[in-house]
Amino acid sequence: MENLKNDKIDRIKYWNDDYVKYWKKMTDEAEKSSDISTVDGKVPGDYSTSGVDTIAEFLNNMDLQPKEKVLDYGCGLGRFFDYISQRSEYYGIDISEQMIKVCKQKYPLHTDRFMVAEGENLYFEDGFFDKVVCVGVFDACYQEAALMEMLRVVKDGGKILISGKGNKYNLDDEQAYIAEEAARRKGHPNYFTDVRSMLEQVKEFVSVEEERYFPYRGDMRKGKYTHKMPETFYEWVIIIRKIGGGTPELNKFSSRYSNSWQARN
Ligand SMILES: C[S@@+](CC[C@H](N)C(=O)[O-])C[C@H]1O[C@@H](n2cnc3c(N)ncnc32)[C@H](O)[C@@H]1O
C-alpha cells in the first residue's frame, strides 16, 4: 500500500478536520433533495450526496432482522442509526473521533453504539456481525485490507453491502473527472476499484446477491443504474453474502488514480 504510514497520519487528520462540518452540510442538504450541491468547499458542479431514503432502497435488500448485529462501517454522523437500530442491533465505527463525538451528542442514550476504529483493523472477533453496511467509505479505505476485515468480522451466511467508485468511468463523464482532480487537490483519500478483479478474487468466499452500477456521476441520486456490470461506470453498490471457507488474501484491486483519469493525462 502506497506510503501507508504518512497517508495514515494524514487521513486521520483529514477526517477530523473541516470534513465534519462539510459532511454535516452535505447530508443536511441531501435530505432536502436538491440536485446540484450548494455547499461551500464542494467540488465544482458537485452533486448532493444521496439521502437516507435513496440509500434505504439498498438497505432494504439487506433484510435486517431483530437481534442481528449490524456494523455501520464508517458511520460518519450516524445518519443510518435510526434505520438500522429500528430493525437490528446497531454498531457504528468511524476512523474520526470528531464524527463519533457528534454521533454521541446526537444520540445521548446510545453513546455505547458508536466507536472510534479504523475499518482495516477492527477489534471485533471473527464472525461477530450478521451484516455489514459500508456506504460512501470504501473509496477512502485501503480497500484490500478493508474487505478482508469485513469478511473476517461477518459470520458465514452474513451479508455485506459496499458502495464505491469504479476505476473505469466514462471518458465523457466530465463531472467524474473534475471530482477526481478536486478530491486529490483537497487531499481527500480516494481509491478507485477494479470491481471485476475484486469479485473474481472473492468468488470462492461469497455469493453476489445484488449489483448496481451507476453510469455517470450523479446517477445514484437519480436512481439510474444497471444490474449487469457495464464496461464503464462511475459508482457501484454490491451486496455479497459470505458463504464460508475463511477469509481470502486479496491482491491489489484498487488504485489512487482511475484508469479514466490516466487515459486523459
Ligand atoms: C462520506 S462519509 C460517509 C459516512 C456515512 N457512511 C454516511 O453515508 O453518512 C465517509 C466516512 O468514512 C469515515 N472513514 C474514512 N476512512 C475510514 C476508515 N479507513 N475506517 C473507518 N472509517 C473511515 C470518515 O471519517 C467519514 O465519516
Domain ranges of the chain: 4-263
Contact call for residues 132 and 70 (beta carbons, < 8 A): yes
Choosing from 16, 18, 73, 94 the residue with most ligand 1 atoms within 8 A of its CB, the one to mutate for a pocket test is: 94
pLDDT tens per residue across span 44-64: 666 667 888 888 989 999 999
How far apart CA 98 and CA 101 sit, in angstroms, is 5
The DSSP string of 226-238 is BSSPPSS-SEEEE
CA of 36 to the centre of ligand 1 (A): 22
* 2 pLDDT above the threshold of 50: no
**Residue carrying the nine cell digits 456490470:** 229
Output the nine-digit C-alpha cell for 255. 488504485
Closest atom of ligand 1 to 78 CA is: 9
Q: How large is the angle between the packed helices 19-31 and 4-16, nearest 10 degrees?
A: 60
CA 96 – CA 75 distance, rounded (Å): 10
> Which residues, 6+ apart, have CB-to-CB distance to 109 below 8 Å?
none
Ligand 1 pocket, residues with Cβ under 6 angstroms: 15, 23, 27, 74-76, 79, 94-96, 99, 118-120, 135-137, 140-141
Cα(93) to centroid(ligand 1), Å: 9
Q: Which of 15, 123, 143 to mutate to test the pocket of ligand 1 (most atoms within 8 A of CB)?
A: 15
CATH 3.40.630.30, applies to 4-263:
no
Of the candidates 39, 24, 20, the residue with the CA atom closest to the CA atom of residue 94: 20
Cα 263 to middle of ligand 1, angstroms: 29
Listed residue (41, 38, 72) closest to 188, CA to CA: 41
Query: pLDDT, tens digit, for every residue of 65-113?
Result: 999 999 999 999 999 999 999 999 999 999 999 999 999 999 999 999 9
Residues forming beta bridges with residue 116, ordered by sequence position: 94
Q: CA–CA separation, 102 vs 111, rounded Å?
A: 10
More confident call, 217 vs 35: 217
* C-alpha–C-alpha distance, residues 151 and 157, integer Å: 11
Q: Which residue has the cell 442509526?
A: 81
State mean pLDDT over 30-54.
73
